[in-house]
Structure 1
Amino acid sequence: MRAAFATPIRFVLLTLVLAAIQPAIAQQQGGNQTQSPNAEQQAQNRSDALEQAYKKEFAFLAAQRRDLQQRLAAFQQRAGQERQGVQREIDQLQGEVVRLTNEADKLQEQVREAERAVQSNQDNQQVLEATFQQAEVTLEEHGVDLLGSDRFTEMPEEQKIRELFTAADRTTDRLGSVRETQGSFFLADGTKVEGTIVHVGAVAAYGVSDRAAGALAPAGGGRLKLWPAATGEVARAVVNGQYPETLSLFLYESLNENVETDAEETVVEHIQSGGSIAWIIMGLGALALLLILLRVLFLSRASSSTDRIEKQVGDLVRKGKIEEAQQAVSRVKGSASRVVATALRHLERDRQHLEDLISEGILREQARLNRFGAIILMIAAVTPLLGLLGTVTGMISTFDVITKFGTGDPKLLSGGISTALVTTELGLAVAIPTLLIGNLLSGWAERIKDEMEKAALRVTNIYEEARG
């Protein structure tokens, strides 16, 4: 490689030397034309030698150039072949990578499918176990002990399912029919008697014994008791194979829970369930009723006296008998008589002054006419609030019970809420009629006031007409 790089350098240097020598040679030739032929000959020889060296060097360089070109072409050809080989290898490796990637994806998909299959099998197994447990509980309730046997435990799963369906089918047929058995049940007084029991499917039963007969209800623990309803004749007819058109049945869901008869709640018991606040509400209601009766009595007397006074006094005033009119008014008790008496005593006054005296008398009587009215309306406003207070306190007590004992018994929760709402019920029951009647009585009192004013003014007008 060094020789290859040295040859061009030598060529360049030689070219530069020749370029520098030629002007000198030319100058020397021009200036030495007079020199001797020997000198010229020597110069010519040196020029030829130099030219020969130049040609040799040029030929050498040309040969070097051709060699380098050939070597370059061979290198490029070899590099191209190697590049093609490497590219083919790269393509092969890429194809292998794609193939391995696809294969890995397929394996991952197979793994996911296998996991889904395992999960599905586990779910199915859980469903089967739950089915077996439910079937065991249900069949045991109806006297079928299939799952507890060793033979059933050793069966394959498919055979277990077939056995379960077979047992369930037989139990369904048995429970869906009317069957007669000998057994015991309890009477209303708690006495246990032996007799004939007719089962109507699994939802009702009749019992007939020497002492009593009738429809049966669950007594808890799989036992039956006589229901107090009068169904003895129907039960005996069913036992004898005679079915009436209408059957009185007690339908039940299970024999494991005792069914109690709902005793009819009295009014006092209903009030007592609301606690002390309920009794306060009822006390206010009784007070409101008493005040309403008294107010009706006062207003009825005032209303009747107004009509009677206007008729009696009007005729006497028209005849000019003022003193007799005053005596007639004094014999009548009530607010209207006092207002009219005031008008009769001051008939000689001017009209404006007389009307002022009448208005003053009506204002004095207004307090008597409005007696108990404000108290009645106050009771009507307070009793709903007391009912709400009782409901809130009852709900707090109910939630305290739930906090301590939980919500396992829905009957306890519903009973607590029902009891808490009793006070609201009583409060509204007292408030609504009290408010309505109170407003009606207030309107009646206003009408009586108007009638008293009309009566007094009527007497005044009659007097002026008679005098004028």
Structure 2
Amino acid sequence: MLEFIKQGGPTIYPLLACSVIGLAVVLERLFYFFRIKNDNFRMFRKIEMMIAEGEITRAAHELKSERGPVAKIIAAGLAHYGQDRRVIEEHIRVAGEHEVHKLEKNLAILDIIASISPLLGLLGTVLGIIDSFNILSTTAGIAAPAQLSSGIAAALISTAVGLIIAIPAMLFYSYFVSIVDKNTKEMNKWSVELIDLLSYRGEKDVQI
């Protein structure tokens, strides 16, 4: 394995660093998205029933045990129950932006790795070819296969490693972006229902 790495040329080391960082990001994001997976429909309807029964404190306490961005924006709206609709909307919007930021955490790093890895592999290819031409030039065009092997190996290995890193990184990046989009749509959907629910209940309580 060490010999393989040595044959890859100087660009193999940043490529290995990219692989380690990329793997860490993928594992962290998979764990995070697994933890926030939730049945938002069931949760919202349960909270809706509690609000209808006037059990606001119980609903807020119930949300503390729930995970996911939708639970956070419901908690943010519920914390300002009875206030003006615009106030509720603003706090839900701020909470939603914060949750989107958490959903997108480290995805930019994965995108960069997917973009830069093939370029590093290509750089290794160019350097390897340059080494091969240098060997040929110093031997008047006649060189033993062993003399050319290091340059050719660097050219091929670095390119292969760059693609091996970039392809899974791009696939996971696209997968994570789809999860972010799905959660964002869920937040938007339930935010609208929550604002209508809290505003209606607040106005009803004021009239009583």
Name the CA distance, whole Å, in 1 between partners of 2:167 and 2:73.
35
Matched letter for residue 424 of structure 1: T
Task: Say if 2:117 is the partner of 1:383.
Answer: yes
Output one character per residue of 1:100-121: Cα deviation in whole Å (capped at 9) or x when no partner: xxxxxxxxxxxxxxxxxxxxxx
For the structure 1 residues 307 and 301, does the alpha-carbon distance in structure 2 shift closer, same or farther, using more than 3 Å as the test? farther
Give the conservation status (yes or no) of the 8 Å contact 2:22–2:169: yes
Aligned-pair RMSD on alpha carbons?
Answer: 2.5
Aligned mate of 1:432, from 147, 162, 167: 167
Q: Which residue of 2 aligns with 1:450?
A: 185
> What CA deviation, in whole Å up to 9, does each residue of 1:140-163 have, x standing for no partner?
xxxxxxxxxxxxxxxxxxxxxxxx
Q: Against the structure 1 CA distance between its residues 305 and 368, is the aligned structure 2 distance closer, same or farther, given a 3 Å change threshold?
A: farther
How far the C-alpha of 1:340 sits from its partner, in A, is: 1.0
Contact 1:302 1:336 in 2 (8 A): no
Aligned to 1:403: 137
Cα separation, 2, equivalents of 1:449 and 1:306: 13
Shift of 1:384: 1.3
- SS state at 1:442 partner: helix
Structure having the larger proportion of residues in strand: 1
Match for residue 37 of structure 2 among 272, 280, 303 = 303
Distance 2:76 2:13 in 1: 47
Corresponding residue number in structure 2 for 1:324: 58
Equivalenced residue count is 202
Rounded to whole Å, the distance in 1 between the matches of 2:39 and 2:29 is 16
CA contact 2:82–2:198 (8 Å) conserved in 1: no
Deviates more, 1:436-445 or 1:271-280: 271-280
- Deviation readout 1:359-391 (Å, 9 max, x if unpaired): 121112222111111111111111111112211
How far the C-alpha of 1:302 sits from its partner, in A, is: 2.3
TM-score w.r.t. the length of structure 1 is: 0.39
Number of the residue aligned with 1:278: 12
Shift in CA distance, 375/308, structure 1 to aligned 2, threshold 3 Å: farther
Query: What secondary structure sits across from 2:142 in the alignment?
Result: coil
User: After alignment, is 426-435 or 293-302 more displaced?
Assistant: 293-302
C-alpha contact (below 8 Å) 1:358/1:453 kept by paired residues: no
Percent sequence identity over aligned pairs: 26
Tell me, yes or no, if structure 1 residue 369 matches structure 2 residue 103: yes
1:316/1:325 contact within 8 Å kept? yes
CA contact 2:25–2:106 (8 Å) conserved in 1: yes
Q: For residues 319 and 459 of structure 1, do their structure 2 counterparts lie closer, same or farther at Cα, with a shift above 3 Å needed?
A: farther
Gaps of 5+ in 1: 1-266
Q: Which has the higher helix share?
A: 2
Residues 366 and 449 in structure 1, CA contact (< 8 A), matched pair in contact too: yes
Out of 165, 171, 194, which is 1:459 matched to?
A: 194
Report what 2:90 is aligned to.
356
Look up the SS of the partner of 1:408 in the other structure. coil
How far, CA to CA, are the matches of 2:181 and 2:175 in structure 1?
A: 10
Structure with higher Rg: it is 1
Q: Is the 8 A contact 1:306 1:452 kept in 2?
A: no
1:215-234 → structure 2 map (5 Å cutoff): none
Displacement, 1:333?
4.5
CA distance in structure 2 between the aligned counterparts of 1:373 and 1:307, rounded to whole angstroms = 27
Instruction: Find the aligned partners of 2:198 and 2:20 in 1 and give their Cα distance.
Output: 48
Please tell me the residue identity of whatever aligns with 2:176: L
- Please report how far the alpha carbon of residue 303 of structure 1 lies from its aligned counterpart in structure 2 after TM superposition: 3.1
Larger RCO, structures 1/2 (Cα 8 Å, 6+ apart): 2
The SS at the match of 1:304 is coil
Q: Flag structure 2 segments of 5+ consecutive residues without an equivalent.
A: none
* Cα distance between partner residues in 2 of 1:344 and 1:280: 48
Q: Using the TM superposition, give the Cα deviation of residue 447 of structure 1 relative to its aligned residue in structure 2, in angstroms.
A: 1.5
SS of 2:38's partner is: helix
Task: List aligned pairs for 1:236-255, cutoff 5 A.
Answer: none
Query: Which runs of structure 2 are paired with 1:100-139 in the superposition (5 Å)?
Result: none
| Residue 434 of structure 1: how far off its partner (Å) | 0.4
Change in Cα spacing, 1:359 to 1:459, as seen in structure 2 (3 Å) is: same
Q: CA deviation at 1:412?
A: 4.5
1:336 corresponds, among 55, 70, 75, to: 70
In the superposition, the TM-score normalised over structure 2's length comes to 0.83
Shift of 1:326: 0.8
CA offsets, 1:172-209, max 9 Å, x none? xxxxxxxxxxxxxxxxxxxxxxxxxxxxxxxxxxxxxx
> 1:466: Cα distance to partner?
6.1
